[in-house]
Amino acid sequence: MDFGDNEDIAALRDLLQRFIVREATPEMAARWDREDHIEREMLVKLAGLGVCALTVPQEFGGMGRRVIETVVTIVELAKRSTALAGLYIMNACYGSLNLASEGTDEQKQRFLPRLLSGETLFAYGLSEPDVGADLSSVTTRAERRGDTVVINGRKRWCAGANFADHILMLVRSGEAEARYRNLSIVLVPTDAPGLTLEPAGAMGVRGIPVNDVLLDEVEVPFANVLGGEAKWNEGWSLLAGPALEIEKLETPALALGVAEAAVAEAWEYSQQRRQFGAAICTIQSIRHMLSDVQTKLQACRLMLMSAAWKVDQGLPSAVDTSMAKLFVSDTARDIVLTCQQVLGAYGYAHGFAMERYVRDALVMPIWGGSSAIQKNNIANLMRLPRK
């Protein structure tokens, strides 16, 4: 098993770390969080590094599907800012991974070159006001009218819809009589007439703002149905298809990046902060906290990389990716909360990055398939008998 700690991965980490020092300063990360806005140009800069190629097939000028490298990229970017990492995910994962694996030839030709160059971004429109974990019960309706699809309904929590070009939207395209049937995925342009946004706001992962998306008779060409004719009413298979395994790694990669940053800060702070005549890193309880978080961090790294390695190898990985989502998200939240304690009051104050890490870490077990849902998945996939 090579978890990717080879020369190529080391070079990728080094490239990203030098980029971050140069192009994404701590002040910028704080501003993206404060203003709940990140400039799209940051993505073009990332594309210039070549990382948008990691999920684009070679025939479109990319490097194929490099899962470990994609995960490493998310971790490195999230160490500085979840907004920066989120921008990358919207392009390389929501966009390129889905299009490369599920798009028609025409859709690949239309979108992949612009995804590769960092010129286009996709948001995810799955959730609705009354639909969270139970995604197969979406009520946003899509009706086929000749060469077009007309969409009515409301999506919630659509992160980055205000600056994405398309929303990859899960819609009900037929009767709701059979679970997991009659669902489709439509690539909805964000500038389509009848589509409006209502900003929502969230306590963390700011910079990629969350929005409600209102759809009133929004007309989209049928050519925008992901997978085309064959996948009309078969959208669930796309959602639960190969892209899902990588999607389950995106949140743990973000979570690990945030936890890495928090540990680095607490480690450094403990050596600078003096109480009772000595640095607090000499106090046994602080040393134990820092030893604990370093140990948990290592467990998270191994869990994530081992799952990514299995996906890269094409091995069965559904249990591993659910375990990685569950373990790394929960553990990263615990790590960050411990690091906050090391900083005492300064871990609770505005203006210190730790406060942002805490807000960012709290969402990791909630979104992208909650920890409870991953526990269900693991028990089911491992065939634990049910009632």
Ligand X SMILES: Cc1cc2nc3c(=O)[nH]c(=O)nc-3n(C[C@H](O)[C@H](O)[C@H](O)COP(=O)(O)OP(=O)(O)OC[C@H]3O[C@@H](n4cnc5c(N)ncnc54)[C@H](O)[C@@H]3O)c2cc1C
* Angle separating helix axes 353-362 and 242-272, nearest 10 degrees: 150
At residue 339, what are phi and psi to the nearest 5 degrees? -60, -35
Residue 77 vs 297, nearer CB to ligand X = 77
Interaction site with ligand X (CB under 6 A): 123-127, 132-133, 157-159, 202, 205, 210, 363, 366-368, 370, 372-373, 376
Cα(368)–Cα(366) distance, integer angstroms: 7
- Rounded to a whole number of angstroms, the CA Rg of the chain reads 21
Residue 16 vs 205, nearer CB to ligand X = 205
Residue 125 vs 227, nearer CB to ligand X = 125
Residue 132 vs 194, nearer CB to ligand X = 132
Smallest distance from ligand X to CB 275, Å: 36
Residue 87 vs 159, nearer CB to ligand X = 159
Residue 56 vs 159, nearer CB to ligand X = 159
Cα(77)–Cα(53) distance, integer angstroms: 16
Smallest distance from ligand X to CB 369, Å: 7
Residue 155 vs 310, nearer CB to ligand X = 155
Smallest distance from ligand X to CB 249, Å: 15
Smallest distance from ligand X to CB 295, Å: 27
- Of all residues in the shown chain, the one whose CB is closest to ligand X is 132
Smallest distance from ligand X to CB 190, Å: 13
Smallest distance from ligand X to CB 176, Å: 18
Cα(10)–Cα(186) distance, integer angstroms: 38
Residue 3 vs 367, nearer CB to ligand X = 367
Smallest distance from ligand X to CB 39, Å: 19
Smallest distance from ligand X to CB 225, Å: 18
Residue 148 vs 376, nearer CB to ligand X = 376
Smallest distance from ligand X to CB 211, Å: 9
Residue closest to 307 by CA, chosen among 295, 331, 324 = 324
